[in-house]
């Protein structure tokens, strides 16, 4: 059988890029999606070029772009085994802080973007009896003061469980990845005493490498001593 195919949204940076590197090491062919074409192309080249990894420019808030991403996947590799809905970003905490237009973009990206990825990838994942993962957050399991971002991640946690039930009879597995503070460009001021992207990538690979009858539904992972 040809090597399995792993699609990642938000693959141009941070957790998504680290997961791409770990998945490549594990023998997957990669589909790397985000808006930053140059960064995706550099990563695809690093991971072995077009036989092993393709770059697909995709704004996850655009459903047609997500459908085109899946079409490009099937065109290049003929199958899709793992889809990781990981694209997302945060906003300043406090309901009187930040820009309401940025809230709009964040809600559309983190919530609708993930739903669009689910919808666009389900048919191919059913065909391969594959695996769907979504990046939620510790903020999707605990309410944080003044955090609309946390509300978007609670929606992602709920979506992971609702799609798990929806796909229950298909054999497709569903995992919610719930990172604590992780040192990535997500933060303008990079945190210390945080997890590394590689720590989250290992958790993702742990979930996908279980035997087919094992469905790891949630992984909540904090750096030691994160209080909330
Ligand atoms: N870092 C943390 O502490 C932490 C903790 C819990 C959860 N998370 C979640 O982890 C995920 C990855 O974040 P990260 O920490 O790795 O941050 P990051 O390095 O900033 O990566 C975010 C990724 O999302 C992509 N993205 C943003 N908007 C997009 C859009 N509209 N369409 C397509 N791609 C888009 C970005 O690519 P382009 O800009 O190229 O499009 C980038 O590849 C996010 O869902 C985040 O909420 C992060």
DSSP for 28-66?
A: -EEEEEES-HHHHHHHHHHTTSTTTEEEEE--TT-HHHH
Is 109 a pocket residue for ligand 1 (Cβ < 6 Å)? yes
Atom of ligand 1 nearest to the CA of 197: 16
> Taking residues 150-169, what's their average pLDDT?
98
Phi and psi, residue 195, nearest 5°:
-70, 160
User: How far is 118 from 84, CA to CA, in rounded Å?
Assistant: 9
Whose alpha carbon is nearest atom 23 of ligand 1? 10
Is 35 a pocket residue for ligand 1 (Cβ < 6 Å)? yes
163 pLDDT higher than 80: yes
User: Across all residues in the chain, what is the average pLDDT?
Assistant: 98
Is 14 a pocket residue for ligand 1 (Cβ < 6 Å)? yes
Atom of ligand 1 nearest to the CA of 149: 47
**Res. 1 pLDDT band, cuts 50 70 90:** confident
Q: What do you get for the CA distance between the two ends of the chain, in Å?
A: 44
> Taking residues 129-153, what's their average pLDDT?
98
Is 140 a pocket residue for ligand 1 (Cβ < 6 Å)? no
69-102 per-position pLDDT tens digit = 999 999 999 999 999 999 999 999 999 999 999 9
Atom of ligand 1 nearest to the CA of 59: 32
18-41 per-position pLDDT tens digit = 999 999 999 999 999 999 999 999
pLDDT at 135: 99
**Res. 127 pLDDT band, cuts 50 70 90:** very high
Given ligand 1 and candidates 88, 200, 222, which is best to mutate, with the most ligand atoms within 8 Å of its CB?
A: 88
Is 63 a pocket residue for ligand 1 (Cβ < 6 Å)? no
Residue 46 tokens read as 């690093």
149 tagged catalytic = yes
> Taking residues 57-65, what's their average pLDDT?
99
**Which candidate in 149, 163, 177, 181 is catalytic?**
149
Q: How many CA atoms lie within 13 A of 63 on its CB side?
A: 7
pLDDT at 101: 97
pTM of the model: 0.99
């Amino acid at each position: 059988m040809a090597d399995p195919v792993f699609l990642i949204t938000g693959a141009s940076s941070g957790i998504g890029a680290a997961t791409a590197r770990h998945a490549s090491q594990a023998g997957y062919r990669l589909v790397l999606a985000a808006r930053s074409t140059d960064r995706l192309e550099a990563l695809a080249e690093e991971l072995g070029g077009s036989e092993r990894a393709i770059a697909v420019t995709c704004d996850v808030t655009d459903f047609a772009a997500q459908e085109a991403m899946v079409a490009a996947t099937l065109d290049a590799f003929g199958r899709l085994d793992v889809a990781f809905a990981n694209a997302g970003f945060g906003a300043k905490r406090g309901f009187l802080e930040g820009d309401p237009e940025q809230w709009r973009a964040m809600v559309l990206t983190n919530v609708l973007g993930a739903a669009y990825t689910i919808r666009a990838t389900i048919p191919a994942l059913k065909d391969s009896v594959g695996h769907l993962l979504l990046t939620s957050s510790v903020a999707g399991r605990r309410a944080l003061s003044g955090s609309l971002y946390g509300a978007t991640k609670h929606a992602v946690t709920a979506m992971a469980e609702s799609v798990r039930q929806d796909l229950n009879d298909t054999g497709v597995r569903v995992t919610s990845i719930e990172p604590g503070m992780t040192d990535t460009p997500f933060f303008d001021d990079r945190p210390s005493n945080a997890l590394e992207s590689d720590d989250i990538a290992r958790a993702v690979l742990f979930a996908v490498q279980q035997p087919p009858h094992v469905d790891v539904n949630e992984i909540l992972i904090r750096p030691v001593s994160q209080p909330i």
